[in-house]
Structures are given as structure tokens and as C-alpha cells.
Amino acid sequence: MAIERTFSIIKPDATERNLTGAINALIEKAGLRIVAQKRIRMTREQAETFYAVHKARPFFGELVDFMISAPVVVQVLEGENAVLKHRDVMGATDPSKAADGTIRKLHAKSIGENSVHGSDAAETAVIEIAQFFSGNEIVG
Ligand code: CMP
């Protein structure tokens, strides 16, 4: 299996509760390397672009408002099978359905305020990473 990259966001509900380190520890324990990371305040335009695929969903407005409500930490994670590995350590989108030991089971507040985002496929990761990082900010 080739080394792969995925895109990760530590969301406002987690940064507000000072959980960046706790979540990074779980990411690293899962065998992923954080090869880029920055704490930013997302603009409304950035959040709307990032979640454009969900534009028609009833929760879109709520999702965008939430993502700009406090700082987020955007990250690039690297490792073998990184997309799947990260999805495994995040757990299900709905924390009530997430497996024991996952980030969302341990820390998420609800399906909306679910602490973390991860790319759903390697192709999506390329697009998501490019929205927030230039090549020279990623150091593997
Ligand atoms: P994420 O992995 O960032 O991708 C889309 C996000 O939409 C998801 O995590 C949730 O935070 C959010 N989301 C999904 N379903 C719902 C829902 N039913 N109500 C509110 N937010 C949702």
C-alpha cells in the first residue's frame, strides 16, 4: 500500500474545549503523521465552498454557522491507507453510533457538533487539502 494523504479538521466544538492535543494523540496513535497543521478562523465563504456538496441539505446553514463560530485546526495527515485509517479513528458521523475508543465516541457532542472532519476518499482529499494548504506548507 502506497503512502496516502488525507485532510482533517478539528472543529469548533473541540477547539473550544481545548481538545486539539487529545485528538492529535489519537490520530498519531492510529499510525498517522501530521505533516501540516494550522489553526484558523474559517470565513463564511471558505465554509460554504468546503461544504458545497451539502448545499441542498436542510442542515447546510447550521453547518456553515457552526464551522465559523470558533477557530478550527486544519491538517494534512499522511500514512499507509490514510483516508480509511483516519475514518476509522474518527468513528461514525453520529457519535451515538460511533465505536468505543474513536474520537467522536470520546469527544463529539452531536451529529452536527461532531469534533472532526475527514476526507471520504483520496480524490476528495486532494481537493480539500488544496483549499487550505500550499505545497510548501506540507512537510512529510
Ligand atoms: P463532516 O464529516 O464534516 O461532513 C458533513 C457534516 O455535516 C458532518 O460532518 C456533520 O457535522 C454535518 N451533518 C451531517 N448530518 C447532519 C445533521 N443531520 N444535522 C446537522 N449536521 C449534520
Q: Is the pLDDT of residue 1 over 90?
A: no
Q: Does the Cβ of 112 fall within 6 Å of ligand 1? A: yes
Q: What is the pLDDT of residues 86-115, one digit of tens each?
A: 999 999 999 999 999 999 999 999 999 999
Q: How far apart are the first and last CA of the chain?
A: 17
Using a 10 angstrom Cβ sphere, with 0-12 exposed, 13-18 middle and 19 or more buried, the burial of residue 6 is buried
What residues are labeled active site?
117
Task: Give the Å distance between the CA of 59 and the centre of ligand 1.
Answer: 8
What's the rounded Cα separation, in Å, for the pair 31 and 134?
24
Ligand 1 binding pocket includes 124 (Cβ within 6 Å): no
CA-nearest residue, atom 1 of ligand 1: 117
pLDDT digits (tens, 9 = 90+) for 40-98: 999 999 999 999 999 999 999 999 999 999 999 999 999 999 999 999 999 999 999 99
114 CA from centroid of ligand 1 (Å):
8
Instruction: Please indicate whether residue 68, judged by its CB atom, sits closer than 6 Å to ligand 1.
Output: no
Nearest-CA residue for ligand 1 atom 22 is 112
Q: How far is the CA of 2 from the centre of ligand 1 (A)?
A: 30
Among residues of the chain, what percentage have pLDDT more than 70? 99
Q: For residues 67 and 27, what is the distance between their CA atoms, to the nearest angstrom?
A: 21
Q: Does the predicted TM-score (pTM) go above 0.85?
A: yes
